[in-house]
A = this chain, B = another copy of it.
């Protein structure tokens, strides 16, 4: 189910698409014509640093809208790649902007969504600023960032996967986390 407030848009503003693992949805510099609703699968937004290091800006999960910030931008600022076969709906950018102009409730709801994103980015900044690997992993798990794929998780929180495995092991041993299966952990 498309999240509010996008259900208010005309059906003509929406088109479906599917992606396979490894596909690129858009690249940094592309001109944004739509934003996306992810129904299933995973899409990563990532950039590359000057030295070639890959940096994950955001992981879109099923049910989420992503690339919203491109509504007010003339170019995407990152690449979007599919990391698990995905179904998604394109939402026409012009239709969204028009709805904002004509429907105050739509505008308000969209702003609230942006505000929520800002706060989630702040949490992420807070996380990345934590110096200790163990503490960072612990907070990240508590924030629900770990969903099965530990290597992606490690990249998201700015650690090598080895350091992440070691921290997870230590946290499980000390009882701060529960090991619920192979590569699966939960807050106690």
Contacts and interface: CB of A to CB of B under 8 A. Distances in A.
Contacts of A69: 115, 118-119, 122
Interface in A39-66: 47, 49-51, 53, 55-58
Contact of A108 (B78, B97, B124): B97
A71 B107 CA distance: 14
Contacts of A53: 129-131
Contacts of A112: 72
Interface stretch (A98-106, A167-175, A177-185): A98-106
A55 B128 CA distance: 10
Interface in A73-117: 73, 77-78, 97, 100-102, 104-105, 107-108, 110-112, 114-117
A139 B126 CA distance: 19
Contact of A101 (B50, B108, B119): B108
Given A57-B126, A128-B158, A131-B53, A111 B118 contact: no
B122 A125 contact: no
A132 interface: yes
Nearest to A97: B108
B104 A102 contact: yes
Contacts of A131: 53, 158
25 contacts: A49-B129, A50-B135, A50-B139, A53-B130, A53-B131, A55-B125, A55-B126, A56-B129, A57-B122, A71-B111, A71-B115, A72-B115, A72-B116, A73-B115, A77-B119, A77-B122, A78-B122, A100-B111, A107-B108, A110-B111, A114-B115, A117-B118, A118-B118, A128-B128, A128-B129
Q: Which 4 A-B pairs have the closest CB atoms?
A: A107-B107, A114-B114, A128-B128, A121-B121
